[in-house]
Amino acid sequence: MKIYTRTGDDGTTGLFGGVRARKDAPRVEAYGTVDELNAVLGTAVAAAGSAAIGSVIAGLQADLFALGADLATPPGSKAKVRRFAPADAERLEELIDNAEAELLPLAAFILPTGTPRAAALHHARTICRRAERLVVPLMAEDEVGDAVLVYLNRLSDLLFVLARQENDEAGVGDTEWHPGA
């Protein structure tokens, strides 16, 4: 199978179920940003670090493929994809709670830095927030399950905590931000 199809040469792309959409459509922007997030998580997996955290990140990457498929499938499509449910965000909350239990409480804002893996996780967190910001207007104009937005919100929190945990396990403390310093 060839990687190029030429079907997108006119500025459109195919959604699941066969509908075509402009490449700058809100739905395409949203799932494209989820894809970007997944790629940055690949960078985090490739960086040296905790095997346990690497395993969590790999699981998140699988989730993001499913989330992208959910977003790429418009309402009424006959395509069969897994739709996100409240249990998906609840699973992330459990991961957040477990990771936070091992960390010192935050006393100040921290800079997004540290080990290469922690820095990649912070980068991923910012892309996740952008994906979340893109899903909100999509929800205003088209049907998207509420659980998608909740999942992205929890995921950004989890990525922040995982970055802190990665730094902690590597013996790298949080770098606090001090206004005016």
Q: Is residue 82 part of a domain?
A: yes
The angle at the Cα of 100, spanning 95 to 101, to the nearest 5 degrees, equals 100
Residue 176 lies in a domain: no
Name the pTM for this structure.
Answer: 0.93
Q: What domain count does the chain have?
A: 1
Q: Is residue 1 part of a domain?
A: no
**What pLDDT is recorded for position 32?**
97
11 is a domain residue: no
Q: Is residue 180 part of a domain?
A: no
Structural domain including 147 reads: 23-169
What's the pLDDT score for residue 36?
98
In this predicted structure, what is the pLDDT of residue 22?
73
Q: Domain containing 111 — which CATH number?
A: 1.20.1200.10
The answer to whether residue 143 is domain-embedded is yes
- For residue 63, the one-letter residue type is D
Residue 49 lies in a domain: yes
pLDDT at 75: 83
The verdict on residue 161 lying in a domain is yes
Place of tokens 């830095």: 113
In the chain (181 residues long), the average pLDDT of successive 10-residue segments reads 80 80 89 98 95 96 97 89 95 97 94 96 98 97 94 98 97 92 69
Helices 26-46 & 51-71 angle (0-180, nearest 10):
170
